[in-house]
């Protein structure tokens, strides 16, 4: 492929941010976003530790998703992009909603994934997380962006006075940049609301690491355990006391060690 810019759109329309200068490509399926466009920031900086081994592409779904689009459809878009841009299997990290899509991707396109990291994601959302996301989508559909951010951030941060204040401030700042169209968020939430992959996990053939915090508000420890148990060549690492998404030095060491396992370093 031609050397891509630090951010932009692949030929298939999927927005990306690029970081690192390693010799191998790694594709991150990003989590839920209010708008499908290049998103520098947390999703990119979180994976900076991979930049010596990899050139990392954090990739969202294409903008303007049609009504009724499913996570499987989104996985097929990722597959078409990886075939066109990289021509063969790559290491994949799927974070949160991106992890849901990555499960479809790995099951349906085994020739395109070398090793898979399911990062703070599982075979389905918890019931409270599903209800929260539907509320966020409803508010976004009404273009009540600040309220949508408040609901999402309070769910992530908690309901204590300090957390409520942090959520309110962050929501105000985030809502200053309003998406032109709420459909990217709404359609993705509706697709993930239908996602339930436990009976399909055995189709994932790639070596897989499920890595998460045991206090993740979107998923229970049992859901993480079921996900790892259902994939034939998977292991689970749960970090005590950690929320969503898993991060930190030990997380970085564990992910890098897993990705390096069958390579000469």
What is the rounded CA–CA span in Å between residue 195 and residue 165?
A: 32
For the chain, percent of residues with pLDDT exceeding 90: 86
pLDDT band at 265 (very low <50, low <70, confident <90, very high): very low
Peptide bond into 245 cis (omega under 30): yes
> Could you tell me the residue ranges of all domains in the chain?
7-124+196-260, 128-184
Tens-digit pLDDT profile for residues 26-42 = 999 999 999 999 987 65
Q: Is the pLDDT of residue 260 over 80?
A: yes
Buried b (16+ CB within 10 A) or exposed e, 67-88: eebbbbbbbbbbbbbbeebeee
**Which CATH architecture is the domain 7-124+196-260 placed in?**
3-Layer(aba) Sandwich (3.40)
For the CA atoms of the chain, what is the radius of gyration? 17
Answering whether pTM is above 0.85, one says yes
Q: Is the pLDDT of residue 151 over 80?
A: yes
Q: Is the pLDDT of residue 124 over 90?
A: yes
CB 189 within 8 A of CB 87: no
Q: Mean pLDDT of all residues in the chain?
A: 94
Q: Give the 3-state secondary structure of residue 45.
A: helix
């Amino acid at each position: 492929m031609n050397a891509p810019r630090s951010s932009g759109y692949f030929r298939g329309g999927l927005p990306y941010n690029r970081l690192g200068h390693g010799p191998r490509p790694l594709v991150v399926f990003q989590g839920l976003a209010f708008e499908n466009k290049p998103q520098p920031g947390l999703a990119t900086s979180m994976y900076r530790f991979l930049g010596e081994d990899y050139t990392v592409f954090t990739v969202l779904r294409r903008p303007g998703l049609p009504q009724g689009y499913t996570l499987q459809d989104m996985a097929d878009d990722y597959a078409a992009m990886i075939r066109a841009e990289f021509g063969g299997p790559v290491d994949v990290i799927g974070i949160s909603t991106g992890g849901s899509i990555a499960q479809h991707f790995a099951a349906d396109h085994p020739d395109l994934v070398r090793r898979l990291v399911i990062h703070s994601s599982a075979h389905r959302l918890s019931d409270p997380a599903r209800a929260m996301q539907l509320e966020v989508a409803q508010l976004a559909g009404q273009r009540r962006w600040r309220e949508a951010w408040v609901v999402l951030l309070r769910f992530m941060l908690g309901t204590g006075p300090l957390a409520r204040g942090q959520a309110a401030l962050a929501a105000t700042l985030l809502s200053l940049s309003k998406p032109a169209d709420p459909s990217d968020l709404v359609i993705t939430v509706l697709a993930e609301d239908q996602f339930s992959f436990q009976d399909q996990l055995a189709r994932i053939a790639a070596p897989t690491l499920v890595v998460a915090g045991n206090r993740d508000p979107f998923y229970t420890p049992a859901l993480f355990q079921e996900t790892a148990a259902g994939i034939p060549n998977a292991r689970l690492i749960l970090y005590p006391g950690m929320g969503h998404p898993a991060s930190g030095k030990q997380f970085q060491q564990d992910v890098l060690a897993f990705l390096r396992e069958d390579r000469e370093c």
